[in-house]
Amino acid sequence: MRKDFLPFSKPSITEEDIQAVGDVLRSGWITTGKHNAGLEQEMCAYTGSADAVALCSATAGMHCVLQAMGIGPGDEVITPSMTWVSTVNLISILGATPVFADIDRDTLLVTPETIAKCITPKTKAIIPVHFAGVPCDMDGIQALADQHGITVIEDAAHAIGTFYKGKHVGSRNVALYSLHPIKNITSGEGGVVTGPDKEFLNKVRQLKFHGLGVDAFDRQTQGRSPQAEVIIPGYKYNLTDMCAVLGRRQLAHIEEFNRKRLEIATCYLEEFRQIEGILPLGLPQGYDFTHAWNLFIVRVDLPDLDRNTFMEELKKRNIGTGLHFRAAHGQKYYRERTVVAPGGLANTEWNSDRICSLPLFPDMTSTDVTDVINAIKDIIAK
Protein backbone atom coordinates (compact mmCIF):
# COMPACT_ATOMS: atom_id res chain seq x y z
CA MET A 1 0.00 0.00 0.00
CA ARG A 2 1.20 3.54 -0.67
CA LYS A 3 2.67 5.46 2.23
CA ASP A 4 1.40 8.94 1.44
CA PHE A 5 -2.11 10.03 0.52
CA LEU A 6 -2.75 10.61 -3.18
CA PRO A 7 -5.29 13.41 -3.63
CA PHE A 8 -7.74 13.10 -6.51
CA SER A 9 -6.59 16.49 -7.81
CA LYS A 10 -3.62 18.76 -7.24
CA PRO A 11 -2.58 21.95 -9.04
CA SER A 12 0.80 22.05 -10.80
CA ILE A 13 2.65 24.95 -9.19
CA THR A 14 6.31 25.68 -9.94
CA GLU A 15 8.88 27.77 -8.08
CA GLU A 16 8.61 30.28 -10.94
CA ASP A 17 4.86 30.58 -10.27
CA ILE A 18 5.57 31.29 -6.60
CA GLN A 19 8.15 33.84 -7.67
CA ALA A 20 5.62 35.54 -10.00
CA VAL A 21 3.04 35.82 -7.20
CA GLY A 22 5.79 37.15 -4.94
CA ASP A 23 6.67 39.76 -7.56
CA VAL A 24 3.07 41.01 -7.52
CA LEU A 25 3.14 41.18 -3.72
CA ARG A 26 6.34 43.22 -3.86
CA SER A 27 5.09 45.50 -6.64
CA GLY A 28 2.81 47.68 -4.53
CA TRP A 29 -0.32 46.82 -6.60
CA ILE A 30 -1.91 43.56 -5.46
CA THR A 31 -5.60 43.90 -6.28
CA THR A 32 -7.20 44.02 -9.76
CA GLY A 33 -4.71 45.53 -12.19
CA LYS A 34 -2.57 44.75 -15.21
CA HIS A 35 -2.48 40.99 -14.63
CA ASN A 36 -6.28 40.92 -14.54
CA ALA A 37 -6.33 42.72 -17.90
CA GLY A 38 -3.62 40.38 -19.21
CA LEU A 39 -5.54 37.28 -18.17
CA GLU A 40 -8.67 38.60 -19.89
CA GLN A 41 -6.76 39.24 -23.13
CA GLU A 42 -5.04 35.86 -23.04
CA MET A 43 -8.31 34.00 -22.40
CA CYS A 44 -9.84 35.81 -25.40
CA ALA A 45 -6.91 34.78 -27.56
CA TYR A 46 -6.96 31.16 -26.40
CA THR A 47 -10.72 30.61 -26.65
CA GLY A 48 -11.23 32.80 -29.73
CA SER A 49 -13.69 35.11 -27.96
CA ALA A 50 -14.29 38.79 -28.60
CA ASP A 51 -14.19 39.77 -24.92
CA ALA A 52 -13.56 38.31 -21.46
CA VAL A 53 -14.17 39.38 -17.87
CA ALA A 54 -12.13 37.86 -15.04
CA LEU A 55 -13.77 37.51 -11.61
CA CYS A 56 -13.18 35.87 -8.23
CA SER A 57 -15.02 32.67 -9.31
CA ALA A 58 -17.08 31.17 -12.12
CA THR A 59 -20.01 31.25 -9.69
CA ALA A 60 -19.65 35.03 -9.38
CA GLY A 61 -19.53 35.17 -13.18
CA MET A 62 -22.73 33.15 -13.50
CA HIS A 63 -24.45 35.48 -11.01
CA CYS A 64 -23.54 38.54 -13.10
CA VAL A 65 -24.41 36.82 -16.41
CA LEU A 66 -27.86 35.66 -15.29
CA GLN A 67 -28.63 39.05 -13.80
CA ALA A 68 -27.36 40.92 -16.87
CA MET A 69 -29.70 38.76 -18.97
CA GLY A 70 -32.57 39.85 -16.78
CA ILE A 71 -33.34 36.35 -15.49
CA GLY A 72 -35.85 36.64 -12.66
CA PRO A 73 -39.22 35.60 -11.23
CA GLY A 74 -41.45 33.77 -13.72
CA ASP A 75 -38.51 32.63 -15.86
CA GLU A 76 -37.33 29.06 -16.30
CA VAL A 77 -33.71 28.10 -16.93
CA ILE A 78 -32.85 24.63 -18.22
CA THR A 79 -29.72 22.99 -16.83
CA PRO A 80 -28.72 19.46 -15.88
CA SER A 81 -29.31 18.31 -12.32
CA MET A 82 -25.93 16.59 -12.79
CA THR A 83 -23.92 19.78 -12.31
CA TRP A 84 -22.24 21.76 -9.58
CA VAL A 85 -24.98 23.29 -7.40
CA SER A 86 -23.71 26.85 -7.89
CA THR A 87 -25.67 27.28 -11.15
CA VAL A 88 -28.87 25.90 -9.68
CA ASN A 89 -28.48 28.05 -6.56
CA LEU A 90 -28.06 31.24 -8.60
CA ILE A 91 -31.10 30.55 -10.76
CA SER A 92 -33.04 30.13 -7.50
CA ILE A 93 -31.52 33.18 -5.78
CA LEU A 94 -32.63 35.35 -8.72
CA GLY A 95 -36.19 34.09 -8.26
CA ALA A 96 -36.29 31.98 -11.43
CA THR A 97 -37.01 28.25 -11.63
CA PRO A 98 -34.34 25.67 -12.50
CA VAL A 99 -35.72 23.03 -14.86
CA PHE A 100 -33.59 19.90 -14.92
CA ALA A 101 -32.74 18.20 -18.20
CA ASP A 102 -31.68 14.57 -18.01
CA ILE A 103 -28.29 13.47 -19.32
CA ASP A 104 -27.05 10.77 -21.64
CA ARG A 105 -26.44 7.72 -19.44
CA ASP A 106 -22.99 7.07 -20.83
CA THR A 107 -21.49 10.57 -21.32
CA LEU A 108 -23.25 12.60 -18.58
CA LEU A 109 -23.97 15.27 -21.21
CA VAL A 110 -27.32 16.97 -21.78
CA THR A 111 -28.52 16.43 -25.36
CA PRO A 112 -30.86 18.30 -27.73
CA GLU A 113 -33.43 15.56 -26.99
CA THR A 114 -33.30 15.85 -23.18
CA ILE A 115 -33.35 19.66 -23.39
CA ALA A 116 -36.28 19.73 -25.86
CA LYS A 117 -38.49 17.95 -23.31
CA CYS A 118 -37.95 20.81 -20.83
CA ILE A 119 -38.76 23.79 -23.08
CA THR A 120 -41.89 25.80 -22.21
CA PRO A 121 -43.00 29.35 -23.11
CA LYS A 122 -41.27 30.48 -19.88
CA THR A 123 -37.81 29.14 -20.84
CA LYS A 124 -35.30 32.01 -20.95
CA ALA A 125 -31.96 30.22 -21.05
CA ILE A 126 -30.28 26.85 -21.46
CA ILE A 127 -27.05 26.12 -19.57
CA PRO A 128 -25.38 22.97 -20.94
CA VAL A 129 -22.32 21.66 -19.06
CA HIS A 130 -19.29 20.42 -21.02
CA PHE A 131 -18.92 17.64 -18.50
CA ALA A 132 -15.47 16.40 -17.42
CA GLY A 133 -13.97 18.24 -20.42
CA VAL A 134 -16.17 16.83 -23.22
CA PRO A 135 -18.26 19.25 -25.31
CA CYS A 136 -22.02 18.87 -25.63
CA ASP A 137 -23.60 18.56 -29.09
CA MET A 138 -23.56 22.33 -29.56
CA ASP A 139 -24.88 22.42 -33.14
CA GLY A 140 -27.94 20.46 -32.04
CA ILE A 141 -28.45 22.52 -28.88
CA GLN A 142 -27.95 25.80 -30.75
CA ALA A 143 -30.46 24.85 -33.45
CA LEU A 144 -33.04 24.03 -30.78
CA ALA A 145 -32.37 27.25 -28.87
CA ASP A 146 -32.53 29.38 -32.04
CA GLN A 147 -35.80 27.76 -33.06
CA HIS A 148 -37.35 28.84 -29.74
CA GLY A 149 -35.48 32.14 -29.34
CA ILE A 150 -33.72 30.97 -26.16
CA THR A 151 -30.24 32.08 -25.02
CA VAL A 152 -27.49 29.49 -24.49
CA ILE A 153 -24.90 29.98 -21.73
CA GLU A 154 -22.09 27.42 -21.79
CA ASP A 155 -20.81 26.08 -18.47
CA ALA A 156 -17.21 25.46 -19.48
CA ALA A 157 -15.86 25.12 -15.93
CA HIS A 158 -14.30 21.76 -16.91
CA ALA A 159 -13.49 22.77 -20.44
CA ILE A 160 -10.41 24.97 -20.81
CA GLY A 161 -8.82 23.25 -23.79
CA THR A 162 -12.02 21.56 -24.98
CA PHE A 163 -12.55 21.95 -28.72
CA TYR A 164 -15.76 21.20 -30.61
CA LYS A 165 -15.44 20.65 -34.38
CA GLY A 166 -12.06 22.39 -34.35
CA LYS A 167 -13.11 25.47 -32.37
CA HIS A 168 -12.77 26.11 -28.66
CA VAL A 169 -16.08 25.68 -26.82
CA GLY A 170 -17.91 28.90 -26.07
CA SER A 171 -17.08 30.46 -29.44
CA ARG A 172 -20.72 31.38 -30.17
CA ASN A 173 -22.15 32.08 -26.71
CA VAL A 174 -21.40 33.50 -23.31
CA ALA A 175 -19.26 30.87 -21.58
CA LEU A 176 -17.97 30.45 -18.02
CA TYR A 177 -14.57 29.08 -17.07
CA SER A 178 -13.50 28.25 -13.54
CA LEU A 179 -9.97 28.71 -12.19
CA HIS A 180 -10.67 26.77 -8.98
CA PRO A 181 -7.73 24.52 -7.97
CA ILE A 182 -9.36 21.32 -9.26
CA LYS A 183 -9.96 22.70 -12.76
CA ASN A 184 -7.50 22.36 -15.67
CA ILE A 185 -5.78 25.61 -14.73
CA THR A 186 -6.04 27.61 -11.53
CA SER A 187 -5.56 31.08 -10.09
CA GLY A 188 -6.19 29.84 -6.53
CA GLU A 189 -9.82 30.85 -6.94
CA GLY A 190 -11.09 32.64 -10.00
CA GLY A 191 -13.32 32.56 -13.03
CA VAL A 192 -13.59 34.04 -16.50
CA VAL A 193 -16.68 34.93 -18.52
CA THR A 194 -16.14 35.08 -22.29
CA GLY A 195 -18.53 36.02 -25.07
CA PRO A 196 -18.99 37.33 -28.58
CA ASP A 197 -20.82 40.53 -27.53
CA LYS A 198 -18.69 43.25 -25.93
CA GLU A 199 -21.71 45.29 -24.88
CA PHE A 200 -23.10 42.37 -22.88
CA LEU A 201 -19.71 41.64 -21.34
CA ASN A 202 -19.49 45.28 -20.25
CA LYS A 203 -22.69 44.77 -18.24
CA VAL A 204 -21.00 41.81 -16.55
CA ARG A 205 -17.91 43.98 -15.95
CA GLN A 206 -20.07 46.63 -14.28
CA LEU A 207 -21.93 44.15 -12.08
CA LYS A 208 -18.71 42.52 -10.90
CA PHE A 209 -17.49 45.81 -9.41
CA HIS A 210 -20.22 47.73 -7.57
CA GLY A 211 -22.06 48.58 -10.80
CA LEU A 212 -19.62 51.35 -11.61
CA GLY A 213 -19.60 52.58 -15.20
CA VAL A 214 -16.97 50.83 -17.30
CA ASP A 215 -15.86 54.12 -18.81
CA ALA A 216 -14.84 55.19 -15.35
CA PHE A 217 -12.21 52.43 -15.14
CA ASP A 218 -8.62 53.47 -15.49
CA ARG A 219 -7.31 51.37 -18.36
CA GLN A 220 -3.78 51.34 -16.95
CA THR A 221 -4.64 49.94 -13.55
CA GLN A 222 -8.11 48.48 -14.26
CA GLY A 223 -8.95 50.37 -11.08
CA ARG A 224 -11.70 52.81 -10.42
CA SER A 225 -11.24 56.44 -11.24
CA PRO A 226 -12.31 58.82 -8.47
CA GLN A 227 -15.16 60.10 -10.66
CA ALA A 228 -16.70 56.65 -11.18
CA GLU A 229 -20.42 56.49 -10.53
CA VAL A 230 -22.95 53.72 -10.00
CA ILE A 231 -24.90 52.79 -13.13
CA ILE A 232 -26.64 49.81 -11.50
CA PRO A 233 -26.27 48.30 -7.99
CA GLY A 234 -23.53 45.69 -8.35
CA TYR A 235 -21.32 43.26 -6.44
CA LYS A 236 -17.70 42.99 -5.33
CA TYR A 237 -16.56 40.03 -7.41
CA ASN A 238 -13.21 41.22 -8.80
CA LEU A 239 -10.07 39.06 -9.09
CA THR A 240 -6.84 40.15 -7.40
CA ASP A 241 -3.63 40.44 -9.41
CA MET A 242 -1.99 37.90 -7.07
CA CYS A 243 -4.50 35.40 -8.42
CA ALA A 244 -4.54 36.69 -11.99
CA VAL A 245 -0.78 36.37 -12.41
CA LEU A 246 -0.98 32.70 -11.43
CA GLY A 247 -3.88 32.17 -13.85
CA ARG A 248 -1.83 33.73 -16.68
CA ARG A 249 1.15 31.48 -15.97
CA GLN A 250 -1.09 28.42 -15.87
CA LEU A 251 -2.85 29.32 -19.11
CA ALA A 252 0.55 29.43 -20.83
CA HIS A 253 0.90 25.70 -19.95
CA ILE A 254 -2.61 24.52 -20.75
CA GLU A 255 -1.69 22.36 -23.75
CA GLU A 256 1.09 20.60 -21.84
CA PHE A 257 -1.17 20.05 -18.78
CA ASN A 258 -3.96 18.62 -20.90
CA ARG A 259 -1.55 16.37 -22.80
CA LYS A 260 -0.46 14.83 -19.48
CA ARG A 261 -4.09 14.43 -18.43
CA LEU A 262 -4.77 12.59 -21.69
CA GLU A 263 -1.81 10.25 -21.13
CA ILE A 264 -3.04 9.29 -17.66
CA ALA A 265 -6.63 8.89 -18.82
CA THR A 266 -5.44 6.63 -21.64
CA CYS A 267 -3.69 4.35 -19.10
CA TYR A 268 -6.84 4.16 -16.99
CA LEU A 269 -9.05 3.39 -19.99
CA GLU A 270 -6.76 0.57 -21.06
CA GLU A 271 -6.91 -1.02 -17.59
CA PHE A 272 -10.61 -0.57 -16.93
CA ARG A 273 -11.48 -2.29 -20.18
CA GLN A 274 -10.47 -5.45 -18.33
CA ILE A 275 -12.26 -4.76 -15.04
CA GLU A 276 -15.92 -5.66 -14.95
CA GLY A 277 -18.22 -3.33 -13.05
CA ILE A 278 -15.89 -0.30 -13.10
CA LEU A 279 -17.28 1.65 -16.02
CA PRO A 280 -15.53 4.73 -17.39
CA LEU A 281 -17.70 7.32 -19.13
CA GLY A 282 -18.46 6.79 -22.80
CA LEU A 283 -17.52 9.44 -25.37
CA PRO A 284 -20.05 11.13 -27.64
CA GLN A 285 -20.28 9.86 -31.21
CA GLY A 286 -21.08 11.87 -34.29
CA TYR A 287 -18.88 14.94 -33.84
CA ASP A 288 -15.25 15.84 -33.67
CA PHE A 289 -13.85 17.05 -30.36
CA THR A 290 -10.80 17.42 -28.13
CA HIS A 291 -11.25 16.18 -24.56
CA ALA A 292 -9.72 18.36 -21.82
CA TRP A 293 -9.87 15.47 -19.31
CA ASN A 294 -10.69 17.62 -16.28
CA LEU A 295 -12.11 14.57 -14.52
CA PHE A 296 -11.73 10.82 -14.86
CA ILE A 297 -15.04 9.36 -13.74
CA VAL A 298 -15.99 5.74 -13.32
CA ARG A 299 -19.35 4.25 -12.43
CA VAL A 300 -19.21 1.54 -9.77
CA ASP A 301 -21.78 -0.99 -10.93
CA LEU A 302 -21.20 -4.16 -8.93
CA PRO A 303 -23.77 -6.31 -7.10
CA ASP A 304 -21.98 -6.33 -3.72
CA LEU A 305 -20.00 -3.09 -3.73
CA ASP A 306 -21.67 0.30 -3.66
CA ARG A 307 -19.99 3.55 -4.66
CA ASN A 308 -19.69 4.97 -1.15
CA THR A 309 -17.97 1.82 0.12
CA PHE A 310 -15.70 1.86 -2.93
CA MET A 311 -14.64 5.44 -2.06
CA GLU A 312 -14.04 4.51 1.59
CA GLU A 313 -11.99 1.48 0.60
CA LEU A 314 -9.83 3.62 -1.71
CA LYS A 315 -9.31 6.11 1.10
CA LYS A 316 -8.14 3.28 3.39
CA ARG A 317 -5.55 2.52 0.70
CA ASN A 318 -4.43 6.19 0.65
CA ILE A 319 -6.17 7.02 -2.61
CA GLY A 320 -8.35 10.13 -2.77
CA THR A 321 -11.55 10.37 -4.81
CA GLY A 322 -14.16 12.99 -5.66
CA LEU A 323 -17.89 12.94 -6.40
CA HIS A 324 -18.87 15.04 -9.42
CA PHE A 325 -21.68 15.42 -8.79
CA ARG A 326 -24.41 14.42 -6.44
CA ALA A 327 -27.56 15.31 -8.46
CA ALA A 328 -28.93 18.72 -7.45
CA HIS A 329 -32.58 17.63 -7.43
CA GLY A 330 -31.80 15.01 -4.78
CA GLN A 331 -30.46 17.58 -2.29
CA LYS A 332 -32.71 18.83 0.50
CA TYR A 333 -33.67 22.29 -0.75
CA TYR A 334 -34.35 21.15 -4.32
CA ARG A 335 -35.86 17.79 -3.33
CA GLU A 336 -38.60 19.71 -1.51
CA ARG A 337 -39.29 22.10 -4.39
CA THR A 338 -38.63 20.35 -7.69
CA VAL A 339 -41.29 18.52 -9.64
CA VAL A 340 -39.75 15.66 -11.59
CA ALA A 341 -41.94 13.32 -13.62
CA PRO A 342 -41.40 9.67 -12.62
CA GLY A 343 -38.37 8.40 -14.53
CA GLY A 344 -37.79 11.93 -15.87
CA LEU A 345 -34.21 12.05 -14.59
CA ALA A 346 -33.52 8.31 -14.68
CA ASN A 347 -30.03 8.60 -16.19
CA THR A 348 -29.07 11.37 -13.76
CA GLU A 349 -30.19 9.29 -10.80
CA TRP A 350 -28.52 6.09 -12.02
CA ASN A 351 -25.22 7.92 -12.37
CA SER A 352 -25.56 10.03 -9.22
CA ASP A 353 -25.56 6.80 -7.20
CA ARG A 354 -22.56 5.25 -8.99
CA ILE A 355 -20.09 7.93 -10.13
CA CYS A 356 -16.69 8.46 -8.56
CA SER A 357 -13.82 10.68 -9.76
CA LEU A 358 -10.39 9.04 -9.63
CA PRO A 359 -7.07 10.89 -9.21
CA LEU A 360 -6.18 12.79 -12.38
CA PHE A 361 -3.75 15.71 -12.48
CA PRO A 362 -0.71 16.57 -14.63
CA ASP A 363 1.91 15.91 -11.94
CA MET A 364 0.77 12.32 -11.28
CA THR A 365 3.60 9.84 -11.78
CA SER A 366 3.22 6.47 -13.46
CA THR A 367 3.64 4.94 -9.98
CA ASP A 368 0.68 6.99 -8.76
CA VAL A 369 -1.42 5.69 -11.65
CA THR A 370 -0.37 2.10 -10.97
CA ASP A 371 -1.20 2.57 -7.26
CA VAL A 372 -4.74 3.63 -8.13
CA ILE A 373 -5.25 0.69 -10.48
CA ASN A 374 -3.81 -1.82 -8.02
CA ALA A 375 -5.91 -0.47 -5.17
CA ILE A 376 -9.06 -0.88 -7.29
CA LYS A 377 -8.09 -4.43 -8.28
CA ASP A 378 -7.46 -5.22 -4.62
CA ILE A 379 -10.86 -3.87 -3.54
CA ILE A 380 -12.69 -5.82 -6.21
CA ALA A 381 -10.87 -9.07 -5.45
CA LYS A 382 -12.15 -9.00 -1.83
Ligand X SMILES: *Cc1c(COP(=O)(O)O)cnc(C)c1O
Active centre residues (catalytic):
183
Should residue 261 be labelled a site residue for ligand X when binding is judged by CB under 6 A? no
Should residue 222 be labelled a site residue for ligand X when binding is judged by CB under 6 A? no
**Given candidates 46, 84, 310, 361, which one binds ligand X under the rule CB under 6 A?**
84
Only segment of 17-25, 84-92, 101-109, 277-285 that touches ligand X (CB under 6 A): 84-92
**Given candidates 53, 157, 192, 246, which one binds ligand X under the rule CB under 6 A?**
157
Q: How far is the CB of 1 from ligand X (least distance, A)?
A: 31
Q: How far is the CB of 108 from ligand X (least distance, A)?
A: 11
Distance from C-alpha of 136 to C-alpha of 146, rounded to nearest angstrom: 16
Sign of torsion over alpha carbons 205, 72, 149, 140: positive
Only segment of 151-159, 209-217, 345-353, 354-362 that touches ligand X (CB under 6 A): 151-159
**Given candidates 6, 24, 58, 115, which one binds ligand X under the rule CB under 6 A?**
58
For residue 348, the Cα-to-chain-centroid distance in whole angstroms is 18
Should residue 158 be labelled a site residue for ligand X when binding is judged by CB under 6 A? yes
**Given candidates 86, 111, 321, 351, which one binds ligand X under the rule CB under 6 A?**
86
Nearer to ligand X, 181 or 196 (CB): 181
Q: How far is the CB of 130 from ligand X (least distance, A)?
A: 8
Should residue 59 be labelled a site residue for ligand X when binding is judged by CB under 6 A? yes
Q: How far is the CB of 58 from ligand X (least distance, A)?
A: 3
For residue 105, the Cα-to-chain-centroid distance in whole angstroms is 19
Q: What is the 3-state secondary structure (H, E, C) of 250-319?
A: HHCCHHHHHHHHHHHHHHHHHHHCCCCCEEECCCCCCCCEECCCCCEEEEECECCECHHHHHHHHHHCCE
Nearer to ligand X, 355 or 379 (CB): 355
222, 37 Cβ separation under 8 angstroms: yes
Distance from C-alpha of 141 to C-alpha of 137, rounded to nearest angstrom: 6
Query: Partners of 300 in the beta sheet?
Result: 278
Give, to the nearest 10 degrees, the angle between helix 366-381 and helix 254-272.
Answer: 30
Should residue 352 be labelled a site residue for ligand X when binding is judged by CB under 6 A? no
Q: What is the 3-state secondary structure (H, E, C) of 10-74?
A: CCCCCHHHHHHHHHHHHHCCCCCCHHHHHHHHHHHHHHCCCEEEEECCHHHHHHHHHHHCCCCCC
**Given candidates 21, 71, 110, 129, which one binds ligand X under the rule CB under 6 A?**
129
357, 323 Cβ separation under 8 angstroms: yes
Q: How far is the CB of 46 from ligand X (least distance, A)?
A: 17
Nearer to ligand X, 79 or 375 (CB): 79
163-192: which residues touch ligand X (CB under 6 A)? Answer: 178, 180, 191
E strands along 116-216, which residues?
A: 123-126, 151-155, 163-164, 167-168, 174-178, 191-195
Cα dist from 133 to 138, 155, 159, 169, 379, whole Å: 14, 11, 5, 10, 28
191-210: which residues touch ligand X (CB under 6 A)? Answer: 191
Only segment of 152-160, 209-217, 311-319, 351-359 that touches ligand X (CB under 6 A): 152-160
Residue 248 carries which DSSP code?
H
Only segment of 28-36, 53-61, 215-223, 227-235 that touches ligand X (CB under 6 A): 53-61
Nearer to ligand X, 126 or 369 (CB): 126
Number of residues that bind ligand X (CB under 6 A): 14
Three-state SS for 215?
A: helix
Per CB under 6 A, residues contacting ligand X are: 57-59, 83-84, 86-87, 129, 155, 157-158, 178, 180, 191
